Amino acid sequence: MPEAHIIGLGHYVPENIVTNDDLSELMDTSDQWIVDRTGIKERRFAALNQGPSDLAIPAVELAIDNAKINKEDIDFIIFATSTPDHYVPGSSCILQDKMNLNGIGALDIRVQCSGFVYGLSIAEQYIKSGQFNNILVIGAEVQSTAMDLTDRGRDTAVIFADGAGAAIISSQKLGGQILSTHLYSEGKYAKELWVESPSSSSRPTIDLAKINEGRHFLQMNGKEVFKHAVKRFPEVIIEGLEHNELSIADLDILIPHQANLRISKFIQKKLNLLDNQIFSNIHKYGNTTAASIPIAFSEALIQGKIYPGNIVALASFGSGFTWGSCIIKWVK
């Protein structure tokens, strides 16, 4: 059976740096509060009229370069985003045309913070079945346009941000071999972290009253998210390792979804990991939802933190609730 390998990664963040002090000018918050509660010091916001497909392009180009393939070698596109360029068609199609990749299948997945792990899992199955040889998996978000940048939205506006990451999953036995993926969701918590409007279950899908009430902005029950995240992350990481007859002692580096530094610290303590065994870049980029894992993974590689023979774990938790893990063995 073919093996599924991650043979190239790339990331891109928009140029516009928004500091905590910048947000303090828009809403009643402070650098101290944001750093203490989230670990975030600054984040990036996309420029006017930049969608997730635009942020994805440089990330994809880098992933293709690093994979040492031609873009014509790509057989299929999977685009994970919770903030698509448009409702119809998906960002995978929008990106496909912008990058002249027409004529192959393109799939959008809406699994929020777990989007990249779910995307890897889908790609893994197609590669292992022999149907495709090279699959492009993207996580990209423009959340700055979907957040309430006033006092009313301060609990989410200081956390979420924009960015893109991409990976090439291949049957070539290079890079990181995907050993297994483990996916979960619990839709009964859908409303704990959601965007209510526009909604196709209401007529009209959105109206002025809903806009005035801010129901088109991201809403989060932070305490509930926190409570579930600190349980599900360790659980799904251990499950992934044990599935491969590995333990925490075998784990070289954990690259968690960059939800919140306090959540990462909790996981680190629970799993007894050293500082160099858990990657963090949330201080620079905030929480970029589906983009956070591929951005972090790409940066970890650039910073020389992953060596041949290493066991790498990716893990996510977010809106849905959805969560998952991916266990990788770095071969070259």
Residues lying near ligand UT7 in the complex (CB under 6 A) = 29, 33, 37-38, 113, 154-155, 158, 222-223, 225-226, 259-260, 263, 287, 318
Q: How far is the CB of 115 from ligand UT7 (least distance, A)?
A: 11
Q: What is the DSSP letter of 325?
A: E
Closest residue by beta carbon to ligand UT7: 222
Chain center to CA of 261: 15
Residue among 9 and 159 whose Cβ is closer to ligand UT7:
159
DSSP sequence for 194-251: E---S-TTSSSS--HHHHHTTTTS-EE-HHHHHHHHHHHHHHHHHHHHHHTT--GGG-
Q: How far is the CB of 84 from ligand UT7 (least distance, A)?
A: 18
3-state SS string for 265-317? HHHHHHHCCCHHHECCCHHHHCECHHHHHHHHHHHHHHCCCCCCCCEEEEEEE
Residue 76 in tokens: 């299929």
Active-site choice (20, 260, 281, 287):
287
Residue among 134 and 143 whose Cβ is closer to ligand UT7:
143
Q: What is the DSSP letter of 320?
A: T
Residue among 6 and 158 whose Cβ is closer to ligand UT7:
158
Active-site choice (11, 134, 257, 260):
257
Q: How far is the CB of 318 from ligand UT7 (least distance, A)?
A: 4
Task: Answer yes or no: are the C-beta atoms of 196 and 219 closer than 8 Å.
Answer: yes
How many CA atoms lie less than 13 Å away from 102 in the CB half-sphere? 3
Active-site choice (5, 93, 113, 134):
113
Q: How far is the CB of 49 from ligand UT7 (least distance, A)?
A: 26
Q: How far is the CB of 273 from ligand UT7 (least distance, A)?
A: 19
Q: How crowded is residue 204: how many other Cβ atoms within 10 Å of its Cβ? A: 10
Residue 210 in tokens: 């809903």
Catalytic residue check, 113: yes
Residue among 175 and 320 whose Cβ is closer to ligand UT7:
320
Q: How far is the CB of 100 from ligand UT7 (least distance, A)?
A: 33
Strand bridging mode 134-141 / 193-194: unpaired
Q: How far is the CB of 290 from ligand UT7 (least distance, A)?
A: 10
Residue among 5 and 154 whose Cβ is closer to ligand UT7:
154
Burial grade of 298 (CB within 10 A; 0-12, 13-18, 19 or more): buried
Residue among 153 and 175 whose Cβ is closer to ligand UT7:
153
Residue 94 in tokens: 């929008």
How many CA atoms lie less than 13 Å away from 36 in the CB half-sphere? 5
Residue among 64 and 315 whose Cβ is closer to ligand UT7:
315
Which residues, at least 6 apart from 34, have a Cβ–Cβ distance to it below 8 Å?
A: 20, 23, 40, 41, 158
- Residues assigned a catalytic role: 113, 257, 287
